[in-house]
Chains A and B, each alone.
Chain A
């Protein structure tokens, strides 16, 4: 039988979300440095990829406007 979460008020849910976030952050902080470094490098790779896409799009929009 699937697990049924107990009903909560919105306030209780907000508190639970904050508690879970804090627990996750504590968990990550305690990971070995090499693991945290891997996570940081992944975050950076994503940021750089997004930045490149943004710049490409900016160039496309600019060229579309100048070629009108």
Chain B
């Protein structure tokens, strides 16, 4: 049965497990195995938890990287090695393809990204899989920080849908010196 907008109601969908859920399940496995200590889904997939779906070609995963014992350098090599062991050897540009999705593992280097990982909470994604997602205010702050055209589109969606706490966002932007950037963007919405 179709709803007012011509889409099938939720109960009408009975397809196989979603590719995104499969890909996130593998990331969760890496977390359970200790290959990554914590992660947060960013980009369009992270935003999906708050706003309408927006076009994307990959899954952005922010990760905490700890240096190997006896080393000062951090590397995403252990993640890629484990994925290779699991049979994920296909690459698309600089991203490893998992369940059909190119995954970009982004080492959290900025304070805002590190905080976003710390505040990420497990949210049901689909097919019984959870994904660690930062609060909307963090996703917005990271988008404000990057300021690419696609971030602007996403920010406008967040703004129009009012799916964030303005006080929390203001405090976060103040803390990370992003307030003036946000004010500039706001004048364009």
Contact = CB atoms under 8 A, between A and B. Distances in A.
B174 to A, nearest CB: 27
B126 A34 contact: yes
Given A32-B10, A34-B127, A39 B18 contact: no
The A contact surface, by secondary structure, is helix
Interface in B1-50: 4-5, 10, 13, 15, 18-21, 44-45, 48-50
A24 B20 CA distance: 24
Nearest to B3: A27
A44 interface: yes
B89 interface: no
Interface in A20-55: 22, 24-29, 31-41, 43-44, 47
B112 to A, nearest CB: 24
By secondary structure, the B interface counts as loop
Given A33-B124, A33-B125, A35-B10, A43 B53 contact: yes
B48 A38 contact: no
Nearest to A25: B52
Contacts, number: 66
B183 interface: no
Interface residues of B, number: 30
Contacts of B13: 35, 38
Nearest to B6: A24
A38 B15 contact: yes
A28 B161 CA distance: 11
A16 B116 CA distance: 39
Contacts of A26: 161
Contact of A47 (B55, B123, B124): B55
Nearest to B48: A36
A15 B112 CA distance: 39
Interface of A: 22, 24-29, 31-41, 43-44, 47
25 contacts: A24-B5, A27-B4, A28-B5, A28-B53, A29-B50, A29-B51, A33-B49, A34-B125, A34-B126, A35-B10, A36-B48, A37-B53, A38-B15, A38-B18, A38-B126, A40-B20, A40-B48, A40-B53, A40-B54, A40-B55, A41-B19, A43-B55, A44-B56, A44-B57, A47-B57
